């Protein structure tokens, strides 16, 4: 982000007699009619929580925007706040802005200082949330644009400028800023309820978690390790992934189940080519028991149609049959390249690509069934007493609390 601090101190004449703050633009939240109050309150709470490790902030709600203020208004701190807030679901833009008095002289000073040292064509874009301001937006654009052009000799270009100077007139103050940081968009976490993510150490499930958090779900995570027949590496990966994803919601919980012995049982039950699907069904059943305990209303997986043999339409149907809770599959229609791009953007890809021993390798048959018959699966499960097994597995979970930014 370009900020005031990039201007060389020596050329500053009159300092801006305002306060650095973060101006937030909200997305879909503004469309939610009478639920809007609830949405905004949730979002403001989430912003405050995300900022807490950096500074205590006040979040002031105005028509369609939030203003984030902090007592210790040191510009570097405010920059960090703006950066941190871009991870809060429901925010579309975070602008590091100067909050100045509602008079033309203050706006001029802030505009001149912000544009100091910037080479290239620029445009001024004003808007008034308070229409009582004595100048119209167009008048303000022309006036401030002329002033900046005269002072620094840079040309005005309204179409595709190199720099945009924004002036937003509000009820009690004016915000002046240039540029901004794009946020995640979506809905505030917690607005849509709670769900449990089945989290492998792979590329897909972290992206699935991200996409559902962005639709307003608060998520918990469940990971199955092959322990005691594999090492703990997959748990470290799941932990690192959840710690990274925690930036989007805070307070994340990771539940880990040692799954190796149950997998052995599936293998010795003669499941053969159905072993992979039988295992996935057992994961889902265990997830369902845990989700109910956590008051989660859905399970989330990283399945994408046709990506691997367990993800054919027939097999997905056989998976749905195992549980009553809905299974959300936000990646179902995405291809691997799209999923990897998103994983890169949310910074989980490099963690997912670390080597580990996936628990699935414990019982991978030579050829997996692509058209699992539900009746056959039920036969196998009867021999295993899966209901009891799922209860036992759900009772054996270990809980972890990976916190974003912690070691």
Site for Mg ion (CB under 5 A): how many residues? Answer: 2
**Per-residue x/- marks for ligand ATP, 204-243, CB under 6 A?**
xx----------------xxx-------------------
What burial class does residue 360 get, using C-beta atoms within 10 Å of its C-beta: 0-12 exposed, 13-18 middle, 19+ buried? buried
Phi and psi (nearest 5°) for 53?
Answer: -65, -20
Residue 308 contacts ligand ATP per CB under 6 A: yes
Three-state SS at 284:
helix
Cα separation of 280 and 286, whole Å? 10
Please identify, using beta-carbon distances, which residue of 90 and 202 lies nearer to ligand ATP. 202
Please identify, using beta-carbon distances, which residue of 11 and 337 lies nearer to ligand ATP. 337
Please identify, using beta-carbon distances, which residue of 198 and 390 lies nearer to ligand ATP. 198
Closest CB 385 distance from ligand ATP, rounded Å: 22
**Per-residue x/- marks for ligand ATP, 191-210, CB under 6 A?**
-------xxx-xxxx-----
Look at phi and psi of residue 181 and say left if phi exceeds 0, alpha if psi is from -120 to 50, else beta. Answer: beta
Closest CB 98 distance from ligand ATP, rounded Å: 44
Phi and psi (nearest 5°) for 282?
Answer: -65, -35
Closest CB 297 distance from ligand ATP, rounded Å: 17
- Within residues 172-231, the interface with Mg ion by CB under 5 A covers 200, 202
Pick from 205, 227, 8, 192: nearest CA to 118: 8
Does the bond joining 228 to the residue before it have cis omega, within 30 degrees of 0?
A: yes
Piece in contact with ligand ATP (CB under 6 A), picked from 42-50, 69-77, 152-160, 306-314: 306-314
Cα separation of 321 and 278, whole Å? 11
How long is the chain? 407
Residue 333: CB atoms within 10 A of its CB come to 9
Phi and psi (nearest 5°) for 44?
Answer: -60, -40
Piece in contact with ligand ATP (CB under 6 A), picked from 28-36, 75-83, 97-105, 300-308: 300-308
CB contact at 8 A, 217 and 192: yes
- Out of Mg ion, ligand ATP, none, what residue 20 binds, judged by CB under 5 to 8 A for its kind, is none
Piece in contact with ligand ATP (CB under 6 A), picked from 7-15, 23-31, 112-120, 299-307: 299-307
Residue 263: CB atoms within 10 A of its CB come to 22
Please identify, using beta-carbon distances, which residue of 148 and 266 lies nearer to ligand ATP. 266
Q: If you search the block for the tokens 């995405």, which residue do you land on? A: 334
Closest CB 176 distance from ligand ATP, rounded Å: 45
The residue sitting closest to ligand ATP, measured at its beta carbon, is: 202
Residue 352 contacts Mg ion per CB under 5 A: no
Distance linking the first and last C-alpha atoms of the chain: 27
- Within residues 351-370, the interface with ligand ATP by CB under 6 A covers 359-360
Binding positions for ligand ATP, rule: CB under 6 A: 198-200, 202-205, 222-224, 283, 301-303, 307-308, 310, 359-360
Binding positions for Mg ion, rule: CB under 5 A: 200, 202
């Amino acid at each position: 982000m370009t900020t005031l601090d990039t201007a060389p101190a020596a050329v500053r004449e009159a300092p801006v007699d305002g306060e650095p703050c973060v101006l937030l633009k909200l997305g879909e939240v503004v469309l939610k009619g009478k639920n809007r109050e609830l949405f905004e309150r949730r979002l403001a709470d989430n912003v405050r929580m995300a900022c807490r490790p950096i500074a205590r902030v006040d979040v002031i709600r105005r028509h369609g925007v939030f203003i984030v203020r902090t007592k210790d208004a040191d510009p570097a701190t405010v920059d960090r706040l703006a950066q941190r807030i871009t991870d809060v679901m429901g925010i579309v833009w975070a602008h590091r802005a100067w909050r100045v008095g509602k008079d033309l002289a203050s706006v001029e000073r802030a505009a001149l200082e912000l544009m100091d040292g910037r080479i290239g064509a620029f445009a001024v874009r004003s808007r008034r949330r308070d229409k009582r301001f004595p100048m119209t937006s167009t008048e303000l654009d022309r006036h401030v644009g002329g002033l900046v052009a005269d002072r620094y000799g840079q040309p005005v270009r309204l179409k595709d400028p190199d720099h945009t100077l924004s002036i937003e007139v509000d009820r009690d103050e004016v915000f002046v800023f240039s540029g901004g940081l794009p946020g995640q968009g979506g809905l505030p976490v917690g607005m849509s309820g709670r769900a449990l993510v089945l989290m492998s150490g792979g590329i897909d499930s972290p992206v699935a978690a991200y996409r559902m958090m962005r639709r307003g779900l608060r998520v918990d995570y469940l990971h199955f390790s092959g322990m005691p027949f594999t090492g703990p590496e997959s748990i470290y990966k799941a932990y690192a992934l959840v710690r990274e994803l925690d930036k989007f919601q805070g307070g994340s919980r990771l539940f880990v189940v040692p799954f190796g012995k149950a997998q052995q049982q599936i293998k010795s039950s003669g499941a053969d080519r159905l072993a992979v699907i039988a295992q996935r069904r057992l994961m889902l059943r265990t997830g369902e028991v845990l989700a109910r305990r956590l008051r989660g209303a859905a399970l989330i997986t990283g399945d994408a149609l046709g990506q691997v043999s367990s993800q054919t339409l027939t097999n997905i149907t056989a998976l749905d049959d195992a549980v009553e809770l809905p299974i959300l599959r936000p990646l179902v229609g995405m291809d691997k390249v799209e999923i990897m791009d998103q994983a890169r953007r949310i910074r989980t890809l490099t963690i997912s690509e670390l080597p580990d021993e996936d628990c699935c390798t414990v019982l991978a048959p030579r050829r997996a069934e692509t058209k699992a018959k539900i009746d056959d699966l039920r036969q196998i499960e009867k021999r295993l007493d899966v209901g009891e097994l799922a209860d036992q597995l759900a009772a054996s979970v270990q809980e972890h609390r990976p916190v974003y930014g912690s070691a």
